Amino acid sequence: MKGILLAGGSGTRLHPLTLATSKQLLPVYDKPMVYYPLSTLMLAGIRDIMVISTPQDLPQFERLLGDGSQFGVQFTYRAQPTPDGIPQAFLIAGDWLGDSPCALALGDNLIFADQLNSTLTQAAKRTHGATVFAYQVRDPERYGVVAFDNLGRALEIVEKPTAPTSNWAVTGLYFYDSRVLEFSSKLQPSPRGELEITDLNRIYLQEGSLNVERLGRGCAWLDAGLPESLLDASSFVHTIQARQGLLVGSPAETAFRMGYISAEELKNHALKMSKTELGRILLNIAKSDEEIPRPLA
């Protein structure tokens, strides 16, 4: 399975912060925002990843991420000239995708959960249909919303409903089979002029092949697209790391735990950041005799 990290858009809801840089390069506590969804894709076992951003911001992502070898993965870069909707990413990546199934992560989404690795790898192993993740929110009108029947089966998905029938929002992480490019090419722009990810998900729902995994109380999903949610995400990461001593959203640690890089490679990566707390934690992980590469919870 291949992965797409979509980090485009103009970030107008975060102006003036995003007038000079991409939203997905803003800090969420001690890491660039893009590190968090990148770690999620890697945690699903995905090592071939395309980063899509605006033409002006793409060179910054290339400087930050390089070719991916430091994380044991491979990055490809493509530009999204205009923000014409999430499914446009599949059209941009079409020749690269070929007949491969694909996961797509939005660059401003953070997911933290117990046993997330097993949940993601299970989704990645499905050979037919699509998998999305739903999370209870207080303001469902801001999101694509999925409603369920009494047996917990998905009934409908509605984009930004004015009168939501559910408070389960679809998060910015999607897994699709090899038909995703075919289905995306058939989508028509919505009244707001964009291809809608909800319309793509609805195709799978209507044929009965959409899996909706509900993320429960032991999970946190944060969309860092507003000033207050950006602050919330930073506070959350700081709290977890300070209280539990666990890193959140570190591609280097994820690569080590997943066996993508060795302890020596992690050590070399950490030494480049030796003046930071993040670098010191990574160095301790690399040096510890008790640490062995294993999936994160």
Percentage above 70 pLDDT, the chain: 97
Question: Does the CA dihedral 151-156-157-161 come out positive or negative?
Answer: negative
- Cis ω before 16 (30° cut-off from 0): yes
What is the model's pTM? Answer: 0.94
| pLDDT tens, position by position, 226-275 | 899 999 999 999 999 999 888 999 999 999 999 999 999 999 999 999 99
- Give pLDDT, residue 290: 47
- Give pLDDT, residue 296: 56
Q: Which residues of the chain carry a pLDDT beneath 70?
A: 289-297
State the burial class of residue 15 (Cβ atoms within 10 Å of its Cβ: 0-12, 13-18, 19+): exposed
107 and 35 Cβ atoms separated by less than 8 Å: no
For the chain, give the secondary structure using H, E and C.
CEEEEEECCCCHHHCCCCCCCCHHHCEECCEECCHHHHHHHHHCCCCEEEEEECCCCHHHHHHHHCCCHHHCCEEEEEECCCCCCCCHHHHHCHHHHCCCCEEEEECCEEEEECCHHHHHHHHHHCCCCEEEEEEECCCHHHCEEEEECCCCCEEEEEECCCCCCCCEEEEEEEEECCCHHHHHHCCCCCCCCCCCHHHHHHHHHHCCCEEEEEECCCEEEEECCCHHHHHHHHHHHHHHHHHHCCCCCCHHHHHHHCCCCCHHHHHHHHHCCCCCHHHHHHHHHHHCCCCCCCCCC
- Give pLDDT, residue 276: 94
- Give pLDDT, residue 81: 93
